[in-house]
Amino acid sequence: MKRSLFVLCLLALFTGCSTDTYVSQENINKFDDLTVKKFLIAELKPKAIAEDKKIYLSLISHFDFDKAVLKPQDIKELDDFIAKIQLLSGDILIAGHTDYQGSDSYNEALSLRRSHAIESYLKARIDESHYHFEVKYFGEKNPIVKGHSLKANALNRRGLVMFTEI
């Protein structure tokens, strides 16, 4: 009986962990009038962590076409992110993305430049010795919104930052 209950609990745990990650209510307005209800952050896979550890996610979503320059809205987002993690130690994972325009190699290089822009901003404002940085770049491979509209393109030109406390 105990073994059966244990197996059922394990199955519930694994199926409960396989759901999509939802956009929080505070961030839903970043998607304007699109019908985005949720998005996967599958490219950001934190290490297994204890329940009492903190995870913070920040979406940098205002890159101009063919640019890797942070906008004021995103600087504010990063400053809020820094305020949450400045007294903690952990891993910071940064992922850069582009829209579909341009060749694969060009978009990969552009997404890397976007990741480095975020990384440089963070490193200039926090004590690097408390953090391990990992930079990823995906080019156009993981769009947050499918399609080729101006809004879809703008939303796909983004960076994600994830902090996992160690």
Tell me, letter by letter, the H, E, C secondary structure of the chain. Answer: CHHHHHHHHHHHHHHHCCCCCECCCCCHHHHCCCCCCECCCCCCCCCCCCCCCCEEEEEECCCCCCCCCCCHHHHHHHHHHHHHHCCCCEEEEEEECCCCCCCHHHHHHHHHHHHHHHHHHHHCCCCHHHEEEEEEECCCCCCCCCCCCHHHHHHHCCEEEEEEEC
Average model confidence (pLDDT) across the chain = 80
Task: Give mean pLDDT, residues 140-166.
Answer: 94
**pLDDT value at 19 more than 50:** no
User: 38 versus 58: which is more confidently predicted?
Assistant: 58
What whole-number percentage of the chain has pLDDT above 70?
69
pLDDT band with cut points at 50, 70 and 90 for residue 34: low
Instruction: Check residue 6 and give its pLDDT.
Output: 38
pLDDT band with cut points at 50, 70 and 90 for residue 52: confident
Class of domain 2-165 as given by CATH: alpha beta
Instruction: Check residue 85 and give its pLDDT.
Output: 97
**pLDDT value at 154 more than 50:** yes
